[in-house]
Amino acid sequence: MSLLSPRVLIVDATMLRADTRFTGQLEPLSQQVARVSEAAQLTPERLAIGDATAEEVEAAYERADAIVVMGGEDVTPSLYGMDTDYPESGTHLREADERSCELIRRAISDGIPLLGICRGLQLLNVACGGTLVQHLENSDAHRYLPPRDGDFIRHPVDIDAGSRLAQYLGEHLEAVESAHHQVVAEPGQGLRVSAHAEDGTPEGLEHVSAPVFAVQWHPESESSEPSQLPALLTGLRAEVRERA
């Protein structure tokens, strides 16, 4: 590890979707994380975890000083004890989900700093044995329906005092960019919800002891308040330096 520019592994589910339009929506978000990582003095490496070989995943993990788990499809329901019969159930990427959950558990065990974004938060919760609300009753307050599914809904978030997220972002954000219909139901082992929307929807999650934290919104969106992603990635880098 170089303390001047630690390596951050940016984990996407796949680049080989049949729905290439969705990949086209997600790709700029991952590219933005890579760009801002460089500005935060992190060296980005990207991994499409569902497309790589097991050996490639292992090698990428061994190189990583920090990890960012990106957004995407709903998490495979069987991994948290549910089935696929829920409103707006779509494509599930089981192999990518299983690999991502294992990566997250290893990061927690090894003390590797990790940031989850949207689906990344949900994978963190499932990896630790938690469950998800499969479809919010007020989901229209947290994402646009087609044909506006490329847009993000803006809403405020309150963050618990003393949390990692509050340390990096403060205790209130007037506007975050959301696009989700699922959230944490029961937090996984060692996790606590640390941020909420005004309607009570969980919007932040973090580990009680490991340097692992996640947001349900999209600080990496082009229209997001521009200080949020740099603050989170600078926090991630600070966690790497603290671990060194």
List the catalytic residues. Answer: 118, 218, 220
Please classify residue 234 by burial: count the beta carbons closer than 10 Å to its beta carbon, then call 0-12 exposed, 13-18 middle and 19+ buried. Answer: middle
CB–CB of 8/43 below 8 Å?
yes
CB–CB of 6/237 below 8 Å?
yes
Between helix 94-110 and helix 54-63 the angle, nearest 10°, is 30
CB–CB of 82/36 below 8 Å?
no
Q: Where are the alpha helices (DSSP H) in the chain?
A: 20-39, 54-63, 94-110, 119-127, 164-169, 228-243
List of residues 6+ apart from 200 with CB closer than 8 A:
none
**Biggest distance spanned by C-alpha atoms of the chain:** 48
SS3 33: helix
